[in-house]
Structures are given as C-alpha cells and as structure tokens.
A = this chain, B = another copy of it.
C-alpha cells in the first residue's frame, strides 16, 4: 500500500473519505503484508472507536432496505449525525446485485457530506465465514460516524454475523402473512429488536395492521432478547418518509434502555470475546489448511466419522493428536 499507516490514520481522523476508503481496502486485503499494516492501523485507532450506534438492518429482497437506509440516513443527518452505510454479504454470489453493489441506489444519501457508503466486501476471509465488516466499522467510528447502518439480506449466515456486531437489529417487513418469510433465515424473529412494516399506504392499511397482529402473535412465542423490551412493530413508508422519525426515536429509547440496565456495554464485551474466539478458530483452521497433509488427514478422519466407520469423537481425537504431533515434528 502506497499510504503509510500514519497517512491513513490522519486521513481517517480528519474524515477524508478517500483515505477512509483506502484504509478499508487495506483491512479487507488477504495479503500478509497488508494484514500486518492493517493490524498496526487498527491497534492505533482503537481508542477512537466504540462511540457509534451500530444498527443492523435486514429484510427480504423487495422489502425496501435501500430506500429505508437512504431516507433514514438523511433523517439522521438532519439530526446532526454522521452516517456510515456498510453491508455484510458473505455469499455475494447468491445475492449478486441485491446488496449495495449498485451505489446509485442511494444517490441522495451518497451526495451528503455527512454520509459514507461502502459497497459490499468482495468475499469471506480466510475461506471461512469471517469477514472484515467489524474492522470496517472500527475505521468508520474512528472517522467520527455516529450511526453505522449495516445492511444484510435474509439468507445464509449474514444475520448472525450482523447480530454479533451490532447494538440494534432492525427488521423490515413487507405486508403479508408468513409465506413471504420463507426466504428469511430461520431464527430471524429472535434476533430482532425493532420491526418496521414498510410500504404501508392508505389502500393497504388494514392488511398492514393484520400483518402487525400476526407478527405480534409470533413474537409472543419468543422470549425477549432484552429484558424489559417488547419488540415494537412500527408501520410506515420509507419512500414517503413516513414512520422514520418513529424508528429514529425508538432506536434512541432502545439504546437508553440497554445503557440503563448495563446491557449495552456488556453485550459489546461479549461480542468482542465472541469475535476473539471466532478468530482463534479461523486462524487455527487457516494454519491447518496451510499443510496439505493436515487438511488431508482432517478430511479423511471426518469421512470416517460420517461413514460411522468409527465414533466421531474417536476420529477427532486421532486427528487432533496427529495434527499436534505433526506440529511438534516441525519444531
């Protein structure tokens, strides 16, 4: 990278969007030398992170996520907030084009001085499901963005990844019964903090109310994610800027509640711990994959396990002993 770590940090801290973009490209890189510089950079900006409100936004394709983010983002800017928009898209091949790939979808927001939009990262990292959205978020926080909006589609593992790094999880619902939800990942209802029924007009208001009732009933069967918080279901139209103030205030209320009961900070600590554990596995996996012998052995033992040639735990033990003794041989 032609920019020094100091250049990048100065750029981030002064809100230079071009250098913010360069820094993000750096942390997204898989090259070993880039990783080293990225870690140096991240370590130095760490004191300036953690101040934003991190918001995950999900919904099926067609729920109006882009329009929502565009107009909600602009609303936040009128409240003197700086807004960054990111995307988690571990399976970009599947969702091609449906997620921020097309920057022009948020034309108005993109024009705003106080908005920063980053299209989807290219792919997963180290071959696993890890990705660098968390690191990108750190950079945006150090650049002074107050709201980080992370868009995701309702498929694959993206929701879990978003829930694991955000403070609020927002679900955009279109009007209708349960059938439309077939495309949504199992478990989505349990991650949700706030629901917004979008595209509500005069003509479909009754249907929207029915959908709200159905959602409410479904939520009755799900224990609360946060004590003392009954998931609010708001109606509106992102396109016509209806209901967005309500969402803005509800997010505030929710964050206040989390801060009051101490869960805001606690959840962030847990998220960081989880992320650490996650990366430990990722790096162990990566080191294992470096060696063809080890990977071959892993696959063979796994095959034995799945064919029930012997007990899975026996195969695991055989493999781990072999793997660690391989490592020893090298030492």
Contact = CB atoms under 8 A, between A and B. Distances in A.
B310 A46 contact: yes
Contacts of A325: 331
A328 B287 CA distance: 13
A325 B312 CA distance: 28
Main secondary structure of the interface of A (DSSP, over half): helix
Interface stretch (A86-94, A176-184, A231-239): A176-184
A320 B284 contact: yes
Nearest to A130: B313
Interface centre among A221, A317, A320, by most chain B C-beta atoms within 10 angstroms, is: A221
A147 to B, nearest CB: 19
Nearest to A328: B331
Contacts of A330: 328, 331
A273 B181 CA distance: 29
Contact of A310 (B42, B217, B314): B42
21 contacts: A46-B308, A135-B311, A179-B220, A181-B223, A187-B190, A189-B221, A214-B217, A214-B220, A217-B217, A218-B218, A269-B306, A273-B302, A273-B312, A275-B305, A276-B302, A277-B302, A284-B320, A327-B327, A329-B331, A330-B331, A331-B331
Contact of A46 (B178, B302, B311, B320): B311
Contacts of A264: none
A290 to B, nearest CB: 11
B223 A279 contact: no
A308 B272 contact: yes
A221 B178 contact: yes
Nearest to A50: B308
Number of copies: 2
A195 to B, nearest CB: 12
B310 A223 contact: no
A166 to B, nearest CB: 15
Interface of A: 39, 42-43, 46, 49-50, 130, 134-135, 138, 177-179, 181-182, 184, 186-187, 189-190, 214-215, 217-218, 220-223, 225, 269-270, 272-273, 275-284, 287, 298, 301-302, 305-317, 319-321, 324-325, 327-331
Contacts of A189: 221-222
B273 A43 contact: no
A218 to B, nearest CB: 4
Contacts of A329: 331
A10 B23 CA distance: 66
Contact of A276 (B221, B301, B324): B301
Contact of A223 (B49, B182, B311): B182
A330 to B, nearest CB: 6
Given A280-B319, A324-B287, A305 B272 contact: yes
